[in-house]
Amino acid sequence: KTRQMKILCIGAGYVGGPTMAVIASQCPDIKVTVVDINPERIARWNSERLPIYEPGLDEVVRSARGRNLFFSTDIEAGIRESDMIFVSVNTPTKMFGTGAGMAADLQYWEKTARQIRECSNTPKIIVEKSTLPVKTAQAMKRIFDAGNHKTRFTVLSNPEFLAEGTAVNDLKHPDRVLIGSDTSPAGIRARESLVDIYARWVDRDRILTTNIWSSELSKLVANAFLAQRISSVNAISALCEKTDADIAEVTRAVGMDSRLGSKFLNASVGFGGSCFKKDILNLVYLCRYYGLNEVADYWEGVIRINEYQKERFVVNMLGNMFHTLSGKRICLLGFAFKAHTGDTRESPGIYIAKRLMEERAKLVVTDPEALENARFELQGVEGDVCYTEDPYAATDGCDAVALMTEWPQYAALDFDRIFRSMAQPAFIFDGRNILDHAKLYTIGFNVFPIGKPALTHFHDEPSIGG
């Protein structure tokens, strides 16, 4: 009987947890251990209440946990016994020194690499799962090779393309799996062993192998293109609001061009999530490093439009609510950066909440999954804010509702009831264009979608002030 293969994943976050749960459930013969320096996170992965909300994740974890899926804080033991080590620690934007606010902060990565080197006494395949700047694998290899030469390390790049909110489905049915390696015999052998794992449930023609730098760069570029599509639509939404065009009609016409496709064309209050901004900043930093300033400026524009879109939303609220929000009660309907996740990192709701509190509005934040994280994001922010899970309690007595997250249940709320419980005139700002605007208007709301004409019951000229 052959020895059981052992996989370790360092970093039990939004990527490490779901990715390893799916590998373990697809490969019952492989032992998969996920470790983290954060003991509370590990305790939650071992509990009935997982640390992250993802549709379908509970079932996958329950099917494999204790059988061939383990969560632990013993990083060193995990390293010692493993054959293959995925590293999915966080790679936030560097906040100090050279590249502050732009480059990736690689301190967690380098610490992990050194720890792997110190604890290893058998050959290991190291898999970069985190999104890393081009050429990180090379730096890693140098750190590994600077150690004692009794053990051999082979570094692969295998960036993760899952989207939060659909992570389990994306992992089970990926559009593609990307594996970068060098072309040495050891590199090819390592690459093949990782291909063999994915091939258990992914068609071979969806498993792409490339050189390491292409693989690392592809992940940055994929996120940059996705974010660029959102900023392109949002930029046009501003123009639609000035003319009588409707962004939904425009994107429908544009998206039917088969070269463009209809997905990812919704206008909104702006994109969020832990990755888009960080990865574009990373790309921009790389371009500047290589003296490609025009290219850097181009991609930086994607972030600029996103900031503009968020600020525009606040200015629009202020302007339409008679240039003062002071003392007004405003409900943020949703706080997660998108539907079907509890993640609030870089959520547009954070910026909107802070700006509204600057205007001295009283906020009520509601979300079905993200309230714990919302509290964390807004802790220490000066102002009046409270939290409730019940959307009817949250909107009660409010002057305005600002929809931040496209939770489908929000489109199905009883807006007659909400309207009756609100202060008059009642305003609704739909930051995701998911509500039935004509119906809201008929109920009596003043309705402000993104990139479409506002529907208001005021028939005089708007007041100028503020």
36 binds ligand NAI (CB under 6 A): yes
By CB under 6 A, the count of residues binding ligand NAI is: 26
Nearer to ligand NAI, 130 or 433 (CB): 130
Q: Which of 37, 77, 245, 292 binds ligand NAI (CB under 6 A)?
A: 37
∠ CA(328), CA(333), CA(335), 5° rounding? 110
Helices (H) and strands (E) in the chain, counts: 18, 14
Distance CA 274, CA 14 (A): 10
Q: How many residues does the chain have?
A: 466
Question: Which residue in the list 275, 287, 331, 398 is annotated as catalytic?
Answer: 275
Q: Residue 181: left (phi > 0), alpha (psi -120 to 50), or beta?
A: beta
* Residue 27 falls in the annotated catalytic set: no
Name the residue nearer to ligand NAI (CB basis): 188 or 208: 208
AA identity, residue 217: L
Q: Does 180 bind ligand NAI (CB under 6 A)?
A: no
Name the percent of the chain in helix, strand, coil, to the closest 5.
Answer: 45, 15, 40
Q: CB of 110 within 8 A of CB of 143?
A: yes
Distances (CA, A) of 138 to 127, 133, 280, 357: 13, 11, 21, 46
Question: Considering beta carbons, is residue 343 or 399 the nearer one to ligand NAI?
Answer: 343
Strand 84-87 and strand 6-10: the pairing is parallel
Can you tell me which of 90, 215, 366, 405 binds ligand NAI, judged by CB under 6 A?
90
Contact stretch for ligand NAI (CB under 6 A) within 9-17, 244-252, 280-288, 290-298: 9-17
Q: How far is the CB of 170 from ligand NAI (least distance, A)?
A: 9
Out of 40, 76, 101, 111, which residue is the one contacting ligand NAI (CB under 6 A)? 111
Shortest distance, CB of residue 91 to ligand NAI, whole angstroms?
4
Contact call for residue 54 and ligand NAI (CB under 6 A):
no
**Residue 85 sits in the site that holds ligand NAI (CB under 6 A):** no
Q: What distance, in Å, lies between the first and last C-alpha atoms of the chain?
A: 77
**Hey, what amino acid is at 122?**
T
Q: Which of 82, 120, 131, 228 binds ligand NAI (CB under 6 A)?
A: 131
| 306 marked among binding-site residues | no
Would you call 230 exposed, middle or buried from its count of C-beta atoms within 10 A (0-12, 13-18, 19+)?
A: buried
Q: Which stretch in 8-16, 62-70, 328-336, 393-401 sits in contact with ligand NAI by CB under 6 A?
A: 8-16
User: Which residues are annotated as catalytic?
Assistant: 275
Binding-site positions for NAD(+): 11-16, 36, 41, 89-93, 130-131, 164, 275-278, 345
Q: What residue numbers does the annotated binding site cover?
A: 11-16, 36, 41, 89-93, 130-131, 164, 275-278, 345
